[in-house]
Amino acid sequence: MILIPAIDLLDGRCVRLVHGDFNDVTYYDTEPEVIARKYLDQGAHWLHVVDLEASRDGEAADTDALFKLLHSAEQSVQTGGGVRSGGDIRARLEHGASRVVVGSLGVTAPERFLRWLGEYGDDRIVAALDVTIDGEGVPWPRTHGWTREAQANLWTLLQDLVDGGLRHLLVTDIGRDGALKGPNLGLYREILERFPDIELQASGGVSRVDDLKALRNTGAAGTIVGKALLEGAFSVSQALETLCEPG
């Protein structure tokens, strides 16, 4: 399992939101480019970047900060946030992104998403699904900044996407994101039991290296870690040592 450190960009700065709430923002003083370089120097060869401004403001967003980071980062970068068109995908790839992460449209316009998958290739596109768990344990995707629930549950949606050629999947349990509550191991295990060929990226809830050990045992291909690294719960080096331990 690979480690994918996360940087969320807002107004040119590195931030974290609690449960996606733009009214609950933590700003970090260090420049995003400096953070990315530190993660690379410690051994992380991938970076996950979310352009929150593009997610919030759409076409009116200033993407300069995102493109600056894409040009300066020497590791491979996957980036999402505000991807609404093929032009958004092309622009990010042309500015140096290795993969583009598509969120809400994978849920609300799956046919369009699958066209992009065919156009750009299954290694260039990541479906990012943010879910809540209902009282019966069924995960339901949410869209538009987590404000709307999908018409179909995760299992129905994923079957259609996998049948259409989906390879890379990022799943966030909204209840765990930015809260350092530990990852939803049962959710990730069930996804891979149902769809064993998916390259799953687990996101949300990692607060200590023991969480990484537990995630490794789910079979996930990668894990995205944001707040825990930014706030020094552990370092990239410590995380990689844990993921490389035998057993």
Exposure on the CB side of residue 56, measured as CA atoms within 13 A? 16
Can you tell me the distance from the alpha carbon of 18 to that of 25, in angstroms, rounded to the nearest whole number? 7
Which phi and psi angles does 112 have, rounded to 5°?
Answer: -65, -40
Catalytic site residue 130? yes
Catalytic residue of the set 51, 88, 130, 177: 130
Catalytic site residue 123? no
Strands (E), 90-124: 99-102
Which phi and psi angles does 201 have, rounded to 5°?
Answer: -110, 120
Catalytic residue of the set 8, 88, 173, 177: 8
Give the SS3 label for residue 92: helix
Q: Are 44 and 3 a contacting pair, CB within 8 Å?
A: yes
Dihedral angle sign, alpha carbons of residues 117, 153, 177, 25: positive
The residues carrying an active-site annotation are 8, 130
